[in-house]
């Protein structure tokens, strides 16, 4: 038993060592160095440090007002940091903003396309701002509209587009310069579940097609879990945790295993508590609940031990901790997804309504 668990530790250790080696070889696509932004007395982003590697999908997860958008605005050179800096695609955001702008694409939170122009005209305008020659711009625009399945609406004014169409157009606009790094600020904000899935489908497709590194912010826990390869949890302008979704979940204490037993429950509890790596054991009637790293491999071994003591399990469930639990662990509060999305969406709707007033 002990051996098995230390095997797992070894595996993890190897993985981390491999990654450390990989990190030293591979230059980071983004490297934030004490990046800070203050508005008066309010510190929106507080000395954050992190790295994003080329080719990965990196998620920035946090509640509203945590500092996600401010970070993206600094990384995309829209806002100057108060302190610290970041290296984006090898260029300093403070000293070489023009170089940074040439190597990145952005899809901001709000819709930025000009409503009075058609989708095609918007793409051609942005292409011209990057200095892309007309002929090549036309080829790229056609290809991108195809990718986001908007070719049929290319010659329609953007004001006639639906929310999902506009978001897809924004993504196409963010890719017109073939960026090394694409910044997506809440790419699925206010969209229905189906459209959200479609957007993610595009994101994956474009990474496959162009090998673009993706930095995205979200407050949808389940999206961060499912689509991001590494996640940073940010709250009150500070990064609280960083790692793969799996690593973060392990930091919380691993999988939640629930075993219903037929036999001496007290003895079962003692045995389980004695196993290395198990914690948070609770007993309710004849069910035992506990946390363990890598529940899928640990559970059969635990069952075998119980069996030897003639304690039989009648049912077993192994549940990975959700990102919700991870978030709670690191920030001390829950991020209610449903509330978040409706509230955020209403805020967004209000912003648009105000803008159009």
Partner 1 sequence: MNMAVRLHPLHGLWALTNRELSKWYKAPVILIISLIQPIVWLAFFGKSMNFATMFTSGLNIPGLNIPKQVIDEIGSEILKANFGTTDYFSFLAVGMLSFITLFTSLQSGMSIVWDRRLGVLGKLLTTPVPRGNIVMAKVLNSVIRSLTQATIVLIIAVLLGMKLNPSLNPLDIVGAYAALTLMSMGFASLFVMLALRSTSWESQMAIMNLLNMPLMFASNSFYPVKSMPWWLKPIAYVNPLTYVNDVNRQLLLGVTGHSLLLDYTYLVIFAAIFSIIGIILSWRYLSEA
Rounded to whole angstroms, the Cα distance separating 137 from 121 reads 11
Please list the residues that pair with 230 across neighbouring strands: 58
Q: Does the protein bind partner 1 through residue 345 (CB under 8 A)? A: no
Strand 91-92 versus strand 42-53 pairing type: unpaired
Residue 170 DSSP SS3: helix
Residue from the set 130, 200, 345, 348 that interacts with partner 1 by CB under 8 A: 130
Q: Does the protein bind partner 1 through residue 178 (CB under 8 A)? A: yes
- Contact between 79 and 39 under an 8 Å Cβ cutoff? The reply is no
Nearer to partner 1, 75 or 153 (CB): 75
Q: Please report how close the Cβ of residue 340 comes to partner 1 at its closest, in angstroms.
A: 21
Q: Does the protein bind partner 1 through residue 14 (CB under 8 A)? A: no
Q: Does the protein bind partner 1 through residue 173 (CB under 8 A)? A: yes
Q: Please report how close the Cβ of residue 27 comes to partner 1 at its closest, in angstroms.
A: 14
Q: Does the protein bind partner 1 through residue 348 (CB under 8 A)? A: no
Nearer to partner 1, 132 or 145 (CB): 132
Angle made by CA atoms 357, 77, 191, in degrees to the nearest 5: 45
Q: Does the protein bind partner 1 through residue 344 (CB under 8 A)? A: no
Q: Does the protein bind partner 1 through residue 126 (CB under 8 A)? A: yes
The residue with tokens 């071994």 is 301
Q: Does the protein bind partner 1 through residue 25 (CB under 8 A)? A: no
> Which stretch, 3-11, 95-103, 297-305, 318-326, contacts partner 1 (CB under 8 A)?
95-103
Strand 83-88 versus strand 91-92 pairing type: antiparallel
Q: What is the CA radius of gyration of the chain?
A: 24
Rounded to whole angstroms, the Cα distance separating 196 from 203 reads 11
Question: Of 323, 335, 333, which is closest to residue 222 (Cα–Cα)?
Answer: 323
Q: Which helix (H) or strand (E) holds 91?
A: strand 91-92
> Which stretch, 71-79, 219-227, 305-313, 332-340, contacts partner 1 (CB under 8 A)?
71-79
Residue from the set 7, 11, 27, 116 that interacts with partner 1 by CB under 8 A: 116
Which residues lie near partner 1 (CB under 8 A)? 39, 73, 76-80, 89, 98, 101-104, 106, 108, 110-117, 121, 124-126, 128-133, 173, 177-178, 180, 354-355
């Amino acid at each position: 038993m002990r051996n098995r668990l230390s095997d797992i530790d070894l595996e993890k250790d190897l993985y981390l060592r491999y990654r450390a080696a990989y990190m030293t070889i591979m230059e980071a696509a983004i490297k934030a160095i004490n990046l800070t932004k203050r508005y008066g007395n309010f510190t929106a982003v507080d000395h954050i440090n992190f790295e994003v590697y080329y080719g990965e999908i990196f998620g920035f997860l946090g509640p509203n007002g945590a500092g996600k958008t401010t970070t993206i605005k600094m990384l995309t050179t829209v806002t100057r940091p108060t302190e610290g800096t970041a290296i984006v695609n090898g260029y300093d955001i403070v000293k070489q903003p023009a170089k940074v702008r040439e190597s990145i694409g952005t899809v901001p939170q709000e819709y930025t396309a000009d409503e009075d122009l058609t989708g095609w005209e918007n793409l051609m305008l942005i292409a011209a701002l990057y200095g892309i020659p007309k002929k090549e711009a036309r080829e790229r625009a056609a290809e991108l509209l195809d990718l986001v399945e908007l070719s049929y609406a290319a010659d329609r004014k953007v004001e006639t587009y639906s929310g999902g169409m506009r978001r897809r157009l924004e993504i196409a606009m963010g890719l017109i310069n073939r960026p090394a790094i694409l910044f997506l600020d809440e790419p699925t904000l206010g969209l229905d579940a189906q459209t959200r899935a479609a957007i993610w489908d595009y994101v994956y497709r474009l990474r496959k097609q162009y090998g673009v590194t993706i930095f995205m912010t979200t407050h949808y826990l389940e999206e961060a879990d499912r689509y991001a390869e590494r996640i940073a949890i940010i709250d009150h302008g500070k990064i609280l945790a960083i790692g793969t979704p799996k690593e973060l979940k392990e930091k919380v204490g691993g999988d939640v295993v629930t075993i219903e037993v037929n036999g001496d429950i007290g003895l079962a509890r003692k045995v389980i508590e004695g196993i290395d790596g198990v914690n948070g054991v609770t007993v309710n009637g004849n069910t035992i609940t506990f946390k363990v790293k890598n529940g899928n491999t640990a559970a059969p071994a635990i069952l075998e031990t119980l069996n030897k003591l003639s304690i039989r399990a009648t049912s077993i469930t192994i549940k990975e901790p959700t990102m919700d639990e991870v978030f709670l662990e690191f920030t001390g509060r829950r991020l209610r997804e449903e509330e978040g999305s409706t509230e955020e969406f209403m805020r967004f709707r209000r912003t648009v309504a105000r803008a159009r007033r």
